[in-house]
Amino acid sequence: MVLLLALAIGFVSGLRTLTSLAAIFLERGGVLGYVLGVCAIGEYVVDAMPWTPSRTGALGVSARVVSGAVAGWFIAGSHGGNTIWGLIAGIVGALLGTYAGHAARLAAIAAIGALPAAILEDVIAIGLAFVVVTR
């Protein structure tokens, strides 16, 4: 179960880089959670802009992998699991979220438009992060 949670929070990192970390630190309490939460909101705004680079570029993938690794490590550690396996599950989840999220976003853009697709992806990332951190 712990590795599934780490995989899921990594998936969130693949969708939105800062949402996973913001959710973890907001749940833990403290100023860092609020700072990350504000940064995550900024990411939602920037992500909806047409000039935002693709998440599948080297910088986007790298940021998501690092975020997924850290988030997976925290989730595994907070549930008494092996943090190294949590880190690995977070990385795998981030890669899955990055590429599956990109494909789903492109399909959603074709079906409902760019802004609704971005908002839908934000809602999915926030909802999944909430489910993981409240387990």
The pLDDT tens digits for 92-126 are 999 999 999 999 999 999 999 999 999 999 999 99
Residue 100, number of CB atoms within 10 A of its CB = 13
Q: Residue 70: pLDDT above 90?
A: yes
Q: Residue 8: pLDDT above 90?
A: yes
Report, as an integer, the average pLDDT of 37-55.
Answer: 92
**Cα separation, 109 vs 85, whole angstroms:** 35
pTM for the predicted model, two decimal places = 0.94
Q: Which of 20, 102, 108, 94 is CA-nearest to residue 53?
A: 102
15-29 residues labelled b (16+ CB within 10 A) or e (exposed): bbbbbbbbbbbbeee
- Pair of tokens at residue 106: 């492109």
Alpha helix stretches (DSSP H) within the chain: 2-15, 19-28, 31-47, 58-78, 83-112, 114-133
Site of tokens 């080297």: 58
Under the banding of pLDDT at 50, 70 and 90, the label for residue 33 is: very high
